[in-house]
Structure 1
Amino acid sequence: MKKSILILFLFCLSIGTLVAQNTLSVLFIGNSYTSYNNLPQLVQSLSTSAGKTLNIDSSMPGGYLMSSHLNDATTFAKISQGNWDYVVLQEQSQIPTIDFYRDNDMYPAMTDLKALIEQYNPCAKIITYMTWGRRYGGQQCDPSGTYCSPVFANFNQMQNSLTSAYLEISEQLNVQCAPVGVVWQNILNNSTHVLHSGDNSHPNMDGSYVAACTIFSSIWKQGASGLSYTAGISSTLAQYYQSISDNTLFNSTNDWNLNINKPTANFSESISGNTATFTNLSTSIANTLNYSWNFGDGNTSSIANPSHTYTTSGTYTITLIASNCTFSNTITKTIQIGALSINENAVGNFKFYPNPTTNQITIKVDNQLLGSVYTIYDTVGKSVLNGKISSELNVIDLGNLSNGVYIIEVASEGNYFKNKFIKN
């Protein structure tokens, strides 16, 4: 009998879900479409009814463009206070539909605002607040009439132009988009409800409540359905608005970059002797990631790509938490380091492949093992599969076995030949 060191990599056990904190600070930057009915307060009240704390501030003078905010001392002061988790940006309602201003004013201003926000708020995440079209469409022009939009025949045509502009800049900046205008569109096209105020431009309370539901979910990454706060709207109608908002937002999460700030924890490992070396494969499109490792033996690390030497053989669960200020993601894998005794004749008389495998293994034996019996055991010693070796090459179907580590044993005339394999 001779000793052989066998290092085994076990399958991934679980991947944690997105975790976010329950207290956030949000700065709203916009104009009257944000200030009407005090939208920030509505979002805060929805958050309270969800058991969460939302600290809010705003800069929302009437008629302001993003470029106006870029040169505004009050807006600068609020941004530079720092410690914002989210900043919500709302452009003036006509600008995105006028090609000249969209390309030469809105997009450059949002780009510069993003840089300014990140300069003073390294952890801040930006959400563009997509507004809605005029109730009856129409042509949108600057005060001088020099630059105009197309003549929109109705709300839907104008909304489609707004949607395109907000999605384009959100993609360019790699930020979220709160699709308020699309939620309005889905409600208006499928009901007789009115969301505009008497000027056919600004929101009435229903329209602001719809916007608040969408922004609430964009911030907290959870549905508004079932929340008790209704802003004075009937419970039945509020529930309808909540459900349309949730269906719009969560049925097309990629369209709105809903999870763009979500980190994904991942790593690979290699083992030499009792030392495990871990390569960090975690990703995040925004913000620098922080790492927390637990090696399963009481030792931890916070560096990106650690190595760890174990003092004893055994099975260890490795946990990596990747976090980016607001969100974290967890992955766990199990590795086993240990010595395995193998019969010295096993190599000569009994071979199997591949290892690791997926759905089957092939046992190769020489003549002296023909007619012997093979048995496959799980890691607790329970027999899960057995059969007779009838030829020099024997294919064993593993399709009914779950992924994991198994021991295969071939018994012949009092001799036992054992080895381990992994099914992935």
Structure 2
Amino acid sequence: MKKSLVFTSLFLLVFATSKAEKRRVLFLGNSYTYTNDLPNTLKQLALSLNDTLEVDSYALGGATFNNLANSPNTLAKLQIANWDYVILQGQSQEPAFSPAQVANDTYPYAKQLDSLVHVYNPCAETIFFMTWGRKNGDVANCAAYPPICTFEGMQQRLRESYMEMTQDNHATCSPVGVAWKNVRNQFPAIELYNPDESHPALNGTYLAACTFYSSIYQKSTVGASYTPIGMNATDASNIQTVVSSTVLDSLETWQQFGSLPLANFNYSNNQNSYSFTNLSNRASQYEWNFGDGSPLNNTPNPSHLYNTAGNYTVTLKAVDSCGKYSIRSKSFTVTLTPNQITNINSSNNENIFYKNGTFFLNTKANELKLFDLNGRLLSSQKSLNENTSFHVANIPNGIYFYQIILTDKKVIRGKVLVD
């Protein structure tokens, strides 16, 4: 027996703008989107965290993906502007039905919508709005499809279907339903539902807004000052905490199939010389800030020499071809060991010197690295014998830093003048 959808007669068309445009978001959905004005809740939440959104929506009560894909209003909204993100939300029951029914009745129209998004907005990211199960399951369709008789069963089917749509359409998923489940489990006293046990109460809409914020900005909402009128501040704080953990602890799970960049890196060091390994996904350009006032570095995997001991925060900005970006920062403490540094200007102990386009090493070493004043690695030589010479092409006149690791593992650092 084919399951049936429960439709409402409500209709709403929402439009809101922000003069200080930073990111533009279009919602295409139904009453789960317009109840309590989710788009504006997200906008106000972002403003409280010093981020600006321009939001708009087309939301038709009970609308399925089929309805949305074939609506002239959908096309009109998609043609309005170059959206950065388009959020797609299906009718609350349709993705929870059996895999065969969803494959026939839902997936084709999700793909049609995604295709329309990119016809008019080539750089937009489609975000599938994973909704939540009904408070006590889908009572109307329980007998025909028992897996959705409970909240847990219905939520599992919603997750499976939305993740499959996300993968099939190379999109991002905003895991509102997963965050909803986690808040239910951790804070059962927080009421997320309206009395109809389906639509969101104010707490539920706020939860959804927090989830979208973390999905779009890849940042936590913990500490956000915006709380809708009538909402308990403690409930808001608990929702912020759970949602941020849900999204950010598994960010690649929700974004792995799309095109949004995700910045990440590791680093290693030998004393004050640091090497950075870029682990970013879906990015084509990089910008490194080493936190010491040196110029920005655009190489994928840079090295940097810190000349002063202290605490530093390194920030990587990973950018895709459309200009969307992701930022990741890590902090560490640099400790110098002056007693191990040999000054190259000392006439009694010149370890390396430059003459007529060639560097000469006066000691046997396991490794030698040469850096410019910005800490950029220019040359790395290994297994060097005493009186070894080497060239560095097109090196300008100036002062350069070197690091020598001797055969006894002692580290010598200093300066060499190129003139």
TM-score (norm 2): 0.63
**What letter matches 2:67 in structure 1?**
S
For 1:34 and 1:323, locate their aligned partners in 2 and report how far apart those are by CA, in whole Å.
29
Please point out which of 144, 158, 165 is paired with 2:154: 158
For 1:75 and 1:221, locate their aligned partners in 2 and report how far apart those are by CA, in whole Å.
27
**What letter matches 2:59 in structure 1?**
M
- Per-residue CA deviations over 1:22-79 (Å, capped at 9, x if unaligned) read 6111110011111111111111111222222221111111111111111101111111
1:27 corresponding residue in structure 2: 26
Q: 8 Å contact 1:263–1:327 — kept in the other structure?
A: no
1:193 corresponding residue in structure 2: 190
- Per-residue CA deviations over 1:232-289 (Å, capped at 9, x if unaligned) read 21212111111111111111111211784117799xxxxxxxxxxxxxx999749xx6
Gaps of 5+ in 2: 1-19, 266-277, 288-315, 329-352, 371-378, 388-398
Q: Does 1:130 align with 2:138?
A: no
1:255 corresponding residue in structure 2: 253
The 5-angstrom pairing of residues 68-107 of structure 1 reads 68-98=67-97, 99-107=99-107
Q: 8 Å contact 1:210–1:245 — kept in the other structure?
A: yes
How big is the shift at 1:327? 2.0
Q: Does 1:396 align with 2:392?
A: no
2:208 corresponding residue in structure 1: 211
Secondary structure in 2 aligned to 1:37? coil
Summarize the Cα distance change of 1:321–1:236 in structure 2 as closer, same or farther, 3 Å threshold: closer
CA RMSD of aligned residues (A): 4.3
- Per-residue CA deviations over 1:168-205 (Å, capped at 9, x if unaligned) read 22122221111111111011112222211111111111
For 1:50 and 1:209, locate their aligned partners in 2 and report how far apart those are by CA, in whole Å.
14
The 5-angstrom pairing of residues 23-422 of structure 1 reads 23-98=22-97, 99-138=99-138, 141=141, 148-191=144-187, 192-232=189-229, 233-257=231-255, 260-262=259-261, 285=282, 322-328=319-325, 340-341=354-355, 362=383, 364=385, 379-380=400-401, 395-397=407-409
1:417 corresponding residue in structure 2: none
2:331 corresponding residue in structure 1: none
How big is the shift at 1:354? 6.3
For 2:150 and 2:366, locate their aligned partners in 1 and report how far apart those are by CA, in whole Å.
67
**What letter matches 1:397 in structure 2?**
K
Q: How many residues align?
A: 313
Gaps of 5+ in 1: 1-20, 267-280, 293-318, 332-338, 367-377, 387-394, 409-424
How big is the shift at 1:153? 4.2
For 2:216 and 2:145, locate their aligned partners in 1 and report how far apart those are by CA, in whole Å.
31
For 1:221 and 1:44, locate their aligned partners in 2 and report how far apart those are by CA, in whole Å.
16
Which structure: larger Rg? Answer: 1
